[in-house]
Amino acid sequence: MGLEDPPAPPQAPLVEAVDCEFDWSMGGEGADKNPSEVLVMMFPQVRGVEKQDWMAVKNSPKNKSNLDLMLACCKSEIETSQSKHVFPTPDCFKRVASLLRKQKDYARELGIVELYWLLCDSVFEEVKRRDGLRAQLMAQHSALKAGFKKRHDKAQLLLQLKRDNAALMPQ
């Protein structure tokens, strides 16, 4: 009996974002929201996605370019991270950021990176509060966040260039 891929979640169309109009950084709109709520604000198509075995989905080569599935994987990582107080694995978040870069959606690329950082910070603070500060915890927290630093800086630069170019274009 062969293993089958779990069923794909319902496919809602990707909602286009006009990133020059709205800043997806963790500023005003996401300040009082948890990471899962922020993800739904950024990508409405993940609302109502049920849990399933995301390991099989995210490791399938054909699914790596499917933004909706990768977003659903991110949502699952967020829920697991928050319920078990473990650092989220960065794979899905990096893949989403990469797909958004290909679409030149730099504002949401920044948003997904900052969402990942927010999630890491919340796990770090909860584990530190519960178990006390440990060198291993600090090192893991720093390494996970550092893995996104270069991408974050590049996306900020590209977003600024896009905004500058949009300002120069006559309406």
Question: pLDDT digit string (tens) for 65-105?
Answer: 889 889 988 988 999 999 999 999 999 999 999 999 999 99
Q: Please check whether residue 86 is in contact with residue 54, taking contact to mean a CB–CB distance below 8 angstroms.
A: no
Q: Is the pLDDT of residue 20 over 60?
A: no
Residue 109 has a pLDDT of 96
CB 139 within 8 A of CB 146: no
According to DSSP, residue 63 is labeled G
Please, is 17 exposed, middle or buried when counting C-beta atoms within 10 Å of its C-beta (0-12, 13-18, 19+)?
middle
Q: Where are the domains of the chain?
A: 35-43+65-168
Determine the pLDDT at residue 16: 42
Averaged pLDDT, 138-156:
94
What is the Cα–Cα distance from 130 to 137, expressed in whole angstroms? Answer: 12
- Separation of alpha carbons 74 and 81, rounded Å: 10
pTM equals 0.70
In tens, the pLDDT along 116-144 reads 999 999 999 999 999 888 888 899 999 99
- Strand, coil or helix: 52: coil
How many angstroms separate the CA atoms of 9 and 118, rounded? Answer: 26
Mean pLDDT, the chain, integer: 79
Contact 123, 87 (CB under 8 A): yes
